[in-house]
Structure 1
Amino acid sequence: MKNHIVSVGSEFPEFKKLAVVSLDKGNEFYEISSDDHRQAGKWLVMFWWPKDFTFVCPTEIAEFNKKFDDFEDRDTMLVGASTDSEFVHLAWRKNHDDLRGLKFPMLADTSKSLADELGILEANEKVAYRVTYIVDPQGIVRWVAVNDLSVGRNVNEVLRVLDALQTDELCPCNWTKGEATLAA
């Protein structure tokens, strides 16, 4: 197991994993890879949660889903991920009112290989911490936020940072889209 988290400036690891993309019989699963966002020339936001069928996780997933169009408007591929299997993801989506209509894939890292390579596995239970990655279209990690297992993240902050990174300019503290950037 890795001891360090893949961080800013690093290349995001290559992966090819099954994801739940639909509740329609026969179309539930789709393989996604690290090349998908690069080939499309898009940014990637991948957010991890510890376990399906828990309490904090669906609040985050539902909030990302509410903001899905905001990510789309920013040419950003949104992917949710955990170490649960695609079958557990599918059962959870079918079972939870807030998850049935998800517009983004739920990646299944059943082997825990991607979470391990990212260095985001909690030591005892070997589940992923609540980690959010923003990856540019070239596959370079531009932002990482890590929350402990018990604390949900702020989706608006993810969007704010994505906006700032996409300006490719200097953005002061608390900067929001539409405000002036700094001149060097």
Structure 2
Amino acid sequence: IIAFSDAVEEFRKINCEVIGASVDSHFCHLAWINTPRKQGGLGHMKVPLVADSLRSISQDYGVLKEDEGIAYRGLFIIDDKGILRQITINDLPVGRSIDETLRLVQAFQFTDKHGEVCPAGWKPGKDTIKPDVQQSKDYFSK
């Protein structure tokens, strides 16, 4: 959550909003935010945190670890039409990648605008694949 908060301006530059959520209560979130990072808290946050204390969001998105009442580390890219485009669920000890999330958002935005395919590892400015048999051969023949 901290890494996404720290990178929020990078997301805003590409017209993407970041929202954090956890199964903790809003009281827990306040305590977490009011505790400095050096003392194990979140400190100042630049993104809103949703308190999913009923665990309905976590359950609906498939990240709830029901036996413990906690949530796995989920990341969901939802476009401006409300369509879920990407789901990433990490086990508890592994965080999510800011760089990969930015790349995915940019790739979805590019494909929506241009109708082309972004290959694995694609980054803005790199070659894409045209959705046409002959034109796609041009990409693969390089």
TM norm structure 2: 0.82
Aligned residue pair count = 124
Residue in 1 that maps onto 2:66 = 123
Supply the AA of the counterpart residue of 1:179.
Answer: K
2:122 matched to 1:175? Answer: yes
Runs of 4+ in 1 over 2 A off after TM superposition: 96-101
Of Structure 1 and Structure 2, which has the larger fraction of its residues in strand? Answer: 1
What CA distance in whole angstroms lies between the structure 1 residues aligned with 2:22 and 2:94?
16
Residue 96 of structure 1 and its aligned partner are, at CA, apart by 2.7
What CA distance in whole angstroms lies between the structure 1 residues aligned with 2:26 and 2:119?
41
2:38 matched to 1:95? Answer: no
Q: Secondary structure at the match of 2:103?
A: helix
What CA distance in whole angstroms lies between the structure 1 residues aligned with 2:121 and 2:53?
37
Residue 101 of structure 1 and its aligned partner are, at CA, apart by 2.2
Q: Secondary structure at the match of 2:86?
A: strand
The answer on whether the counterparts of 2:24 and 2:53 sit within 8 Å (CA) in structure 1 is yes
Supply the AA of the counterpart residue of 2:20.
Answer: G
TM norm structure 1: 0.64
Residue in 2 that maps onto 1:140 = 83
Residue in 2 that maps onto 1:20 = none
What CA distance in whole angstroms lies between the structure 2 residues aligned with 1:140 and 1:117?
15
Identify unmatched segments of 5+ residues in structure 1.
1-60
Residue in 1 that maps onto 2:6 = 66
What CA distance in whole angstroms lies between the structure 2 residues aligned with 1:100 and 1:119?
28
What CA distance in whole angstroms lies between the structure 1 residues aligned with 2:36 and 2:125?
36
Residue 99 of structure 1 and its aligned partner are, at CA, apart by 2.7
Q: 2:21 aligns with which of 58, 64, 81?
A: 81
Q: CA RMSD for the aligned pairs?
A: 1.3
What CA distance in whole angstroms lies between the structure 2 residues aligned with 1:126 and 1:170?
39
Supply the AA of the counterpart residue of 1:173.
Answer: A
Supply the AA of the counterpart residue of 1:171.
Answer: C
Deviation per residue, 1:53-100 (Å, 9 max, x gap): xxxxxxxx2211221111111111110110000110010111133732
What CA distance in whole angstroms lies between the structure 2 residues aligned with 1:67 and 1:155?
7
Q: Secondary structure at the match of 1:90?
A: helix
Percent of aligned positions with the same letter in both sequences? 38
What CA distance in whole angstroms lies between the structure 1 residues aligned with 2:35 and 2:44?
12
Structure label with greater radius of gyration? 2
Supply the AA of the counterpart residue of 2:78.
Answer: V
Supply the AA of the counterpart residue of 1:175.
Answer: W
